[in-house]
C-alpha cells in the first residue's frame, strides 16, 4: 500500500531533540544503534527494512552517517500520517508502506539483509506476532536489530514514578479498572507485568505491561534453530535492551 504526501504530523523524532532526560537517553540509544550496525560486518549493498519507521527519522540518520551506504530502504508503519510525513521528506533510495504487525505473517519472508525494529514492539497489541513478523522478514545470513524498553525492576520503578512527575497524564486510561498499587507491587516484587495488558488492544501507547523478561524468553524459544543471538546490550542505564540476531535458515 503506497501513500501520497500530505501534511506532516508531530513525530517521535522530536523526542531526540533538546536537553530533557528523555532526549539525552534517546540520543544515547541512537549512538548505540549506530555502533551496533557499524560493527555488524554488513555487506556493501543490500536491502533494509525498518518496522515502526515513524517519519523515516532512523533511515535518515543511517544515511547521514553513511551506514548502509549503497543500500535500499523500506520503511513500514501502521500510522498513515507518519508514513505520509516520511514520503514527504523524499529520502533517497527509500520507500514507505503500511503494515499491521499484529496480523500473523503480514511481512514477506526472507526478503531483507538487515531488519530494524526500534522501540516498536512494546506498542503493538500482540508483540509475539509482531516480533515474529520482524524476524521472518530477514533473509538467511542477514541480521535483525531490535530495541525494547526495560519496564521491570529498578528501571521500571524509576520510569513509572518519573513519568508522573514530568508529564501530564502519561498513562491515559491504562489504569481504568486496573490498580496502580498492584502495579507498583509487581514492580517491587519482580512480578509478571503482562497481566496488566488484559484485555488485549490493537496497540498500546504506554510502555506499561510490557515485560522484557517474558519477551526474551519467548524470542529465545521461538527463534531457536532459525536465528543465532549475536549480542545483547543493556543501554541507557538499563532503561532499554538491544538485541542483534543473525538468521541461519530459510524456514519461516
DSSP string, 42-74: --SS-EEEEET-TTTHHHHHHHHTTTTTT-EEE
Task: For 183-239, list the strands marked E by DSSP.
Answer: 227-235
pLDDT at 11: 65
- 178 located within any domain: no
Q: Is the pLDDT of residue 20 over 80?
A: no
Helical (H) or strand (E) element with 195: none
pLDDT at 10: 53
Q: How many helices (H) and strands (E) does the chain have?
A: 7, 7
Least confident of 4-8, 92-96, 110-114, 137-141: 4-8
pTM (whole model) above 0.85: yes
Which whole number is the average pLDDT over 84-102?
Answer: 97
- 166 located within any domain: no
For residues 186 and 163, give the distance between their C-alpha atoms in angstroms, rounded to a whole number: 18
The separation between the first and the last C-alpha atoms of the chain, rounded to the nearest angstrom, is: 23
Q: How many domains does the chain have?
A: 1
Q: CATH number, domain at 96?
A: 3.40.50.150
pLDDT at 21: 67
- 14 located within any domain: no
- 15 located within any domain: no
For residues 225 and 101, give the distance between their C-alpha atoms in angstroms, rounded to a whole number: 23
For residues 164 and 10, give the distance between their C-alpha atoms in angstroms, rounded to a whole number: 22
- 67 located within any domain: yes
C-alpha cell at 158: 524509576
Q: How many CA atoms lie within 13 A of 170 on its CB side?
A: 12
pLDDT, tens digit, 9 for 90 and up, residues 187-214: 999 999 999 999 999 999 999 999 999 9
For residues 83 and 188, give the distance between their C-alpha atoms in angstroms, rounded to a whole number: 39
Q: Which residue has the cell 529498578?
A: 154
- Which structural domain, as residue segments, surrounds residue 103? 21-150+218-247
Amino acid at each position: 500500500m503506497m501513500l501520497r504526501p500530505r501534511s506532516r504530523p508531530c513525530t517521535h523524532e522530536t523526542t531526540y531533540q533538546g536537553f530533557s532526560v528523555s532526549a539525552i537517553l534517546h540520543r544515547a540509544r541512537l549512538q548505540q544503534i549506530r555502533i551496533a550496525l557499524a560493527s555488524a560486518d554488513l555487506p556493501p549493498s543490500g536491502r533494509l527494512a525498518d518496522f515502526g519507521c515513524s517519519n523515516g527519522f532512523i533511515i535518515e540518520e543511517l544515511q547521514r552517517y553513511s551506514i548502509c551506504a549503497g543500500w535500499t530502504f523500506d520503511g513500514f508503519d501502521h500510522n498513515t500520517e507518519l508514513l505520509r510525513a516520511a514520503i514527504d521528506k523524499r529520502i533517497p533510495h527509500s520507500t514507505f508502506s503500511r503494515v499491521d504487525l499484529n496480523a500473523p505473517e503480514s511481512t514477506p519472508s526472507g526478503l531483507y539483509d538487515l531488519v530494524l525494529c526500534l522501540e516498536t514492539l512494546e506498542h503493538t497489541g500482540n508483540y509475539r506476532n509482531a516480533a515474529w513478523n520482524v524476524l521472518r522478514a530477514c533473509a538467511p545470513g542477514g541480521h535483525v536489530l531490535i530495541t525494547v524498553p526495560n519496564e521491570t525492576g529498578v528501571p521500571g520503578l524509576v520510569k513509572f514514578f518519573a513519568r508522573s512527575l514530568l508529564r501530564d497524564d502519561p498513562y491515559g486510561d491504562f489504569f481504568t479498572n486496573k490498580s496502580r498499587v498492584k502495579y507498583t507491587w509487581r514492580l517491587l516484587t519482580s512480578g509478571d507485568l503482562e497481566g496488566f495488558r488484559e484485555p488485549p488492544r490493537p496497540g498500546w501507547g504506554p510502555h506499561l505491561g510490557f515485560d522484557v523478561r517474558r519477551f526474551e524468553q519467548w524470542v529465545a524459544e521461538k527463534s531457536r534453530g532459525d536465528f543465532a543471538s549475536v549480542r545483547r546490550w543493556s543501554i541507557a542505564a538499563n532503561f532499554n535492551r538491544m538485541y542483534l540476531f543473525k538468521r541461519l535458515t530459510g524456514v519461516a
